[in-house]
Amino acid sequence: MSARHLVIGLLLALASASTVWADQRGDAKKQVEFGIQVAQRGLWREAIYRWERAAQIDPTYAAAFNNLAVAYEHEGQLAKAREAYEKALALEPNNALVRQNYDLFKEINDRALQKDGRQL
């Protein structure tokens, strides 16, 4: 096989991989957008389902994890919320909006974890 064939093959593989990735991101984005619509109507469980699907379809989609964290927070599932925020921040460490959500969450989470006061 000549070098030219190898390069063409690689380019084709790359193009097909990027098409698959674009399809995945497109599907995940649809789930995320639908999740936002239902969350705005107060249907948080449905939103969780949609964002979990989005995160499964595209595990590199930070928005899906961010939204999932917000929904878990709303449902009082604080451990799951922390995990999802941390995943979103790992994917997009410089995303100021995710960071802001996480900082607000931490304030509440720290308060919830403050189970016992100091003994006199």
Partner 1 sequence: MTARSRKTVGSFSLALIAALAACTSYTEIPIETPIQPKLDVSAFQRIFIAGFIAGANEDVDANMETVRLLRSQLRNKGIMRVIDADTLPLLEIAKQNSGEATAPPVPDQQAVTPPQPEQDPTKAPVFNDEKDLEPYQHIFANVAYWKRIGEEFQQPLIVTGAVLFAPQQRSGFVQREQEVYDPFGRRSVVPVRTYMERKGFVLRPTFIFIDGRTGETLHTETFREEILYNASQQTPALSSYFELMDRLLPAFLNTLSAQKIKGTRTLLK
Q: Where along the sequence are the contacts to partner 1 (CB under 8 A)? A: 29, 32-33, 36, 39-40, 62-63, 66-67, 70, 73-76, 78, 95, 97-98, 100-101, 104-105, 108, 111-112, 114-120
| Cβ-based nearer residue to partner 1, 14 or 108 | 108
For Cα atoms 67, 70, 72, give the angle at the middle one, nearest 5 degrees.
Answer: 110
Minimum CB–partner distance for residue 86 and partner 1 (Å):
16
| Cβ-based nearer residue to partner 1, 24 or 95 | 95
| Cβ-based nearer residue to partner 1, 3 or 120 | 120
For the residues of 20-81, what is the DSSP string, one character each?
Answer: HHHHHHHHHHHHHHHHHHHHHTT-HHHHHHHHHHHHHH-TT-HHHHHHHHHHHHHTT-HHHH
Distance of alpha carbon 47 from the chain centroid: 12
DSSP state letter for 111? H
Minimum CB–partner distance for residue 18 and partner 1 (Å):
19
Minimum CB–partner distance for residue 2 and partner 1 (Å):
40
| Cβ-based nearer residue to partner 1, 52 or 78 | 78
Q: What are phi and psi of 43, to 5 degrees?
A: -95, 75
Minimum CB–partner distance for residue 70 and partner 1 (Å):
4
